[in-house]
Amino acid sequence: MAVLGAGMVRKMTTALEAPVQYRLPLGDADVGLNALLGQSLRLQYDGQINCVHCGRKTSKSFNQGYCYPCFKRLAQCDSCIVSPEKCHYHAGTCREPEWGEQNCMIDHFVYLANTSGIKVGITRHSQIPTRWMDQGAVQARPVFRVSSRFQSGLVETLFSAHIADKTNWRALLKGVPEEADLEAVRARLLEECAADIETLQAEHGLTAIAVLEDEDETRITYPVLEYPAKVTSFNLDKNPLVEGTLVGIKGQYLIFDTGVINMRKYGGYQLTLAQG
């Protein structure tokens, strides 16, 4: 078999084309994946994990690639990253205030996306459209521009009382979802949440929580030859070998004819990718 790359893996990188172009950072290699569709591949876990932040060896990966000390120390691993409405920067207890200023106290977008169905989500302005491709969205549209991650969490919480805020990953990998009318959903949510939105704007300012009226909808297609009828996921901790024909890539998943694997989950793992 021909080795395509070996070393510590990180999440796949994307480029918004039709379809999305994927690359896999693997050690010193940067493997283009689209050209491998329809090819027989072998992905081997070599038994070692290194922290994606500090590089130290770790027996277990936390939060998709961190060692335990980094997981406990870094602001990017705090629970408020998953639940931004719990941001405690204003209380002076942020783990890394400088990191918070650079990554949380900046403009964010609240958006609607069609992944396994319509969902609400948030992202930094610099992560559009990367965030949507990582989630496997086929349609996406910003609805609000806000001045901080904390404020984006407050708005997302309002919408999540009426619409999903998570993706059903199994449904995501079974096919393309039915086309959604994001403008109609946007209008309905703005109406249903009008009073609460006005309250937030009165507290934080109209410019801090701004409704976006004329944003374009982004449509995304993925390099998938076929979707599985039944979704079975690989677990490298239980079985260090993945073999099969690559039939698709969507979100952060490689889809083989033998199962699927979420590459983001295994950040920091030492892997070898071979073809043939």
- Residue-wise pLDDT tens digits, 132-180: 999 999 999 999 999 999 999 999 999 999 999 999 999 999 999 999 9
Phi, psi of 243 (to 5 degrees): -135, 145
Q: Which token pair is 60?
A: 């277990």
- In tens, the pLDDT along 32-77 reads 999 999 999 999 999 999 999 999 999 999 999 999 999 999 999 9
Closest to 136 in 3D by CA, of 251, 21, 259? 251
Instruction: Please tell me the predicted confidence (pLDDT) of residue 275.
Output: 96
Residue 273 neighbours by CB distance under 10 Å: 25
- pTM of the predicted structure, to 2 decimals: 0.95
Over pLDDT 90: what percentage of the chain? 99
Instruction: Please tell me the predicted confidence (pLDDT) of residue 1.
Output: 81
- In tens, the pLDDT along 238-251 reads 999 999 999 999 99
Yes or no: say if 255 and 173 are a contact pair by the CB < 8 Å rule. Answer: yes
Q: Which token pair is 143?
A: 């609805």
Determine the Cα–Cα distance for residues 8 and 270; give it in Å rounded to an integer: 4
